Every structure is written in C-alpha cells, then in structure tokens.
Amino acid sequence: MEPTGTIVFATVGVTNFGFDVFSAAVPLPPMEEDAERRHTDGVSVNFNAQFVDDGGEEVAFVSERGGAAGLFRCRPGPEQRAEPLPTVEGSLFHDRPTVRGGRLYFVSAHEQPPAPFRSWAAVYATEIGSKETVRVSPPGVVDMSPAVSDSGELVAVASYGDRPWAFDFRVLETEVAVFRAADPARRVVVVGRGGWPTWHGEGTVFFHRVADDGWWSVFRVDVSPETLEPTGGERRVTPPGLHCFTPAAVGRGGGGRWIAVATRRKGRAQRHVELFDLETESFSPLTERLNPELHHYNPFFSPSGDRVGYHRFRGAGARGDSVVPYLQPVRSPVSSLRMLRVYGTFPSFSPDAAHLAMNGDFFKTPGVTILRSDGAKRWVLTREPNLFYTSWSPAESGVIFTSMGPIFETTKATVRIARLEFDAGELTTGRDEVAATLKVLTRPEAGNDAFPAVSPCGKWVVFRSGRSGHKNLYIVDAAHGEDVGAGEGTIRRLTDGEWIDTMPSWSPDGSLIAFSSNRHDPTNAAVFSIYLVRPDGSGLRRVHVAGPAGSAAADRERINHVCFSPDSRWLLFTANFGGVMAEPISAPNQFQPYGDLYVCRLDGSGLVRLTCNAYENGTPAWGPASSPAAGLESLSLGPGAGDESLGEFDEPLWLTCDV
C-alpha cells in the first residue's frame, strides 16, 4: 500500500521571497522611477528568467505558482498573463528556461539516478511546436545552468559530470562544457572549474568561480566556432575586492562592451546588479539606483542588449505582496499524500488533526502559535522567546510540549523541556491569542534537554539530553517531569553512548521510538542515520535507507527530522540523497540546499522522494488524510490567512567580504 495522509513541513526562507521578474533599460533613462518594468504577476514566487523576444517584452521564467517549480512564458500586457511552457509532466523541479529557434532548453529533475548521492538535475530540450522533449545531458551526467547562444546552435552548461556528489555546495565544483545543439553527445570541457556560463557572441563564454584570492569573479574563455576547443587560456575579467557572480552577456554579434553581473561589495549588505565595461574595466551601478535596499538576482540581457532583467522581492505596491499564506499547497509525487508548506517551523498535529502547533515564523513571531489546519485562522499561544520544537499530546487537546532555551548548542547549554497547558475550547473563539501556562519538566542544571515527543497515551515524553556529557535519549513523566522530590515525577535513560542520539519520534501505535544518530560513526558529526528502539530500550536497530550495512552509501547518510506515518508503517524524514539541484550562489541563503523530504518503510524499503527543489525542506509532521480545504489551493488565502511579507531573507551566510 502507498503511504497516505497529510504532510506539513517548513522550507527555509521561501515563504518570504516574494520574487518577481523585472527589467530595466540600458542605459537607465533620466527618470529612474520609470526605468523598471515588472514582467510577472506580483503574486507568485517568480525567478530565473530569460527574454524570449528581441524587444525585451516577453520572458520565460520559473514560477512556484503550481506548487512546484514550473516553467512559464509571460506575454506582454498590463496583466502579465502567463501560460505554461511545454516541459516534462510530473517533474517537481524545473530551472533556467531559454527559448531559441522554437526550442525550449531547461533543467529538470524527473529522472532518478541509479544510486543515491547524485543530483537529479539534467538539461532537456522541448520542441515548442510538437512538444517533444529529449534529454540533452548524456545519461548519468549532471548538468545545471544551461546557456544557449543567440543562434541557438551552441549550448554551454555547468556540469558535475557523472561523479557522485562530493557534498560540496558553497563552492560547487562544476566544469563548463560546450556542445552543438545538434550533437549534444560530443561535448568539450572548456573550463575545468567554473559555473553559470553565458555566451558572448558565438565564440566567447563568460563564467564565474572563486578566484585563488578568495573573491567570486567572472572569467572568460574563447572557443573555436569549428572545434569548440579553447583557443586560449582562461582570463579573469572582474577585479578582486568585490564578489561578482552569475554573469550575463549579450549574445548577438559579439554583444558589445557590457556584461551584467550580480555583486556583493564591502560595506553593502545587498546583492545588486551592475554593468561591467569590458573596454574600460569599470562598473556602472544599475539596480542600486532603482532599489538600493533590496537584493537583486541573476541578470539577463535582451537579445538587442537594450534591457537587463533580474528578479527581486516585489516590494510595496504590487498585487499580493502583503500576504504570505500560513499554508501553501505543494505538489506531491504520491497521489495519496497531501503536502503543505507551513509558514513557521516544527509543526505538530492536534489529536483530532483540526489544528497545528508550531513555532512562529522565521522572523517576526517568537514562541508557539496554533493554526487551523485549513490555514484560515491563527492564534498566539505564547510569545515566550527561545522556544523551539512542538509536540502536541495525542491524549490531551490542551497540552503541547516544547524546548526552552537556545537551539543547536553544546551539551552544557541550559535547555529544558516544557509543558504548555491551555484551554483548547478557546480555539473556537474569534480571539487572536489563547492564554497558556508554561511548566518546566526538566532541571536547569541537567544541561541541554530538547526535542520532546509524546507517547500515544500522553503519559511519557522522550527527549534528547546532554546531561551525561553526550546527547542521548531519556524518557520523563509527561505531567510531573523529573520532580522526584514531590514523589510523583520520574525519569529514565533510554540510550547510552559517546555519540549523538537526537530528534526522537514516538510511533502512533506506541511500539517504537525512531531517532537520528551517528552512533555508527561517533567521530563524524555530519553523518546521521535512522534508528528504531522499543520504549523499554530493547530491539535497537538501524534502518538502512541509502544502502545495505557496510556499503559506502550507508556511511554517507545525513538523515534527520524523522517521524512516523499515522498507521506507524512508514517513516518520513529529511535526507541528503538527492544532492544539489542548482548553483547555491545564485539564490538566497539555504543552510542545507540539499535537504529534501523522503519516506520509506520501517525496514528501509520503498524509498520515495517527496520534495525536489533547491531549498532546505525540513521539520515535517505527518497527519491523517484530509480533503483540500476551500480556498487552500490558492497561494493567496484571503484576509486573516497570512502575514505581511517584507521580503526578509538572507544572503548566503557563508558569503562574506572578509576575504
């Protein structure tokens, strides 16, 4: 039987992106307020575009409007009408569309590699007239960031080749390969280390990489139009002292003197698009003159070179910018599973699944909130700071457990397990806040106690504690905690060892506790696998998902956030099996852009990938099946069903100007 139910989960930053595709005239006209044009709808998350027409009116772009990254074509006009482009039905991920000569080139991730730890990304081409799609990347080869010359005859890609993923993502070790559109199997590697290629005419490719001095920079390589072999060495184009990446050049006739680059400069927090003069080797600001306080991403030129496009947070005055829905439908590859992205973290279902508890959204609401499961109403339960994780008692509709203290700290940090009690009847009222009392269950001197999970009977809580000097699992009385002095509380140790056991989950039938651990490789804090144990401590076993015991794949697992299906037959978790789908430097911060959701049976069989994107997805909860709520299939849920977005997201935290 297929897994069934409703899965809710969080995705880092995406709910705040509010991206639209814009373009500006080059050079900027004197009246800068009239210089910028919006090409997309002002409602969806729209990004990574290319111009389709010579006049810079029509764009092909990526949009999350259908619950997954799909490709669209926006026709000129005041309503920014968009129509889907013919791609691959059922694919959860598309990227970097380019239309040339009646063909659409793009990245898709619908073909599963033969082994884990390989990216699913590959380049495809669709004949727009016949809608026939062919794979352009050779079998087994991972390609990203395709660029097509103005003639449509030449293609360049950032390629990972057929290598297994080496767990790199801050600086993705790709090479630049070029080939003829008519003969994609005969490719030439023109750059051994680089990414994000762009054609300048038919004989020059610009690309980015981290230079030896530590600055992201743009380089160029010239290639022979006949053999496609490099005709000279790589040459650095942009100077040190600032980061320059995701270059764009004008393809027609050699493209003139300008390239467009995204930059990060010392003393400036924003990413901006600038023009770089190839003759004078000087920069001219573009987007900083238009929107100095906003990030701008991934420039692209019109074929004539008269306009530069990019995407950014849509800002004030656009339709839809004021609401981020509390719940967003996400396309599921399994018809019996419904998937929802939640505007918050660490969600958990109420006993009747009518509500969700979660920590507040990423930026504005500390504490714990409660959301109606149709996304239509939210209540604040407590604004107490430093609360993370939620576990709603299956036996008590007015009890939620949480962790109190700093997250991701050492064993000695003071973090405690707490019990939130409230009147669940108040969730039927129109008030926005529900009164709650907070009862601490573990002793402050015990150390780092976190990630509580409640037993189905509601009497016990399993949690991770660092009280021994190592992070292991303990079980405590759910009502009284470890208040043994009162003669009522009790606590006992479940696991014991010089390793990390963390994020436990109690099966709904009460028979098992699942958790993540590196006990198979205790010296490596980057590898975690799923383990199962009975509540009495017996029957401990590892669930081998990526490969059998002793295999190289099994030793590379990074699995966390595990929980059970409502029938206790399946496991849901986040994992690194699918590698990286796109160049992370081209997007806002993702701590782990390889984090996707998977399900498998309790013995590790039946593995299914549920999400496939360039984001970090995590902290899932699995509830019973539910019919789609009225209005929930729209990304804008109406008054009271979302928060105002101010475009609050971070640049990659590892990208600094302290080089």
DSSP SS3 for 40: coil
Contact by Cβ (8 Å): 61, 46 = yes
Place of tokens 């373009």: 23
Here the tokens at position 164 are 């297994």
Mean predicted lDDT score pLDDT of the chain: 90
Looking at the predicted structure, is the pLDDT value of residue 630 above 50? no
Here the tokens at position 149 are 């010359």
Residue-wise pLDDT tens digits, 153-211: 999 999 999 999 999 989 999 999 999 999 999 999 999 999 999 999 999 999 999 99
Q: Which pLDDT band holds residue 633 (cuts at 50, 70, 90)?
A: very low
Tell me the sheet residues that pair with 10.
618
Residue-level pLDDT at 79: 66
Q: Which pLDDT band holds residue 636 (cuts at 50, 70, 90)?
A: very low
Q: Which pLDDT band holds residue 33 (cuts at 50, 70, 90)?
A: low
Residue-level pLDDT at 484: 53
pTM over 0.75: yes
Fold of 324-349+384-403+417-423+447-479+490-631: Neuraminidase (2.120.10)
Looking at the predicted structure, is the pLDDT value of residue 528 above 70? yes
Instruction: Please indicate whether residue 643 or residue 238 has the higher confidence score (pLDDT).
Output: 238
Residue-wise pLDDT tens digits, 412-466: 889 999 999 999 999 988 788 899 999 999 998 888 999 999 999 999 999 999 9
Contact partners, residue 213, CB within 8 Å, separation at least 6: 240, 659
Q: Which pLDDT band holds residue 323 (cuts at 50, 70, 90)?
A: low
DSSP SS3 for 348: strand
Looking at the predicted structure, is the pLDDT value of residue 621 above 90? yes
Residue-wise pLDDT tens digits, 93-136: 999 999 998 999 999 999 999 999 999 999 999 999 999 999 99
Rounded Cα–Cα distance for residues 520 and 164 (Å)? 22
Q: Which segment of 474-478, 490-494, 623-627 scores lowest on mean pLDDT?
A: 623-627
Q: What is the mean pLDDT of residues 523-550?
A: 95
Instruction: Please indicate whether residue 633 or residue 386 has the higher confidence score (pLDDT).
Output: 386
Rounded Cα–Cα distance for residues 196 and 298 (Å)? 10
Q: What is the mean pLDDT of residues 531-557?
A: 94
Contact by Cβ (8 Å): 390, 402 = yes
Looking at the predicted structure, is the pLDDT value of residue 608 above 50? yes
If DSSP states are collapsed to H, E and C, what string results for 595-638?
A: CEEEEEECCCCCCEECCCCCCCEEEEEEECCCCCCCCCCCCCCC
DSSP SS3 for 397: coil
Residue-level pLDDT at 304: 86
- Residue-wise over 15-53: b if at least 16 C-beta within 10 A, else e? bbbbbbbbbbbbebeeeeeebbebbbbbbbbbbbbbbbe
Fold of 17-313: Neuraminidase (2.120.10)
How far apart are the two ends of the chain, measured CA to CA in Å? 54
Local structure of residue 75 (DSSP, 8 states): P
Residue-level pLDDT at 659: 78
Q: Which segment of 5-19, 27-41, 134-148, 265-279 scores lowest on mean pLDDT?
A: 27-41
- Report domain extents, the chain: 17-313, 324-349+384-403+417-423+447-479+490-631
Q: Which pLDDT band holds residue 638 (cuts at 50, 70, 90)?
A: very low
Looking at the predicted structure, is the pLDDT value of residue 551 above 60? yes
Here the tokens at position 186 are 């005969």
For the beta carbon of residue 375, count every other beta carbon within 10 angstroms.
24
Residue-wise pLDDT tens digits, 329-367: 999 999 999 999 998 999 999 999 999 999 975 445 579
Residue-level pLDDT at 485: 57
Rounded Cα–Cα distance for residues 45 and 42 (Å)? 8
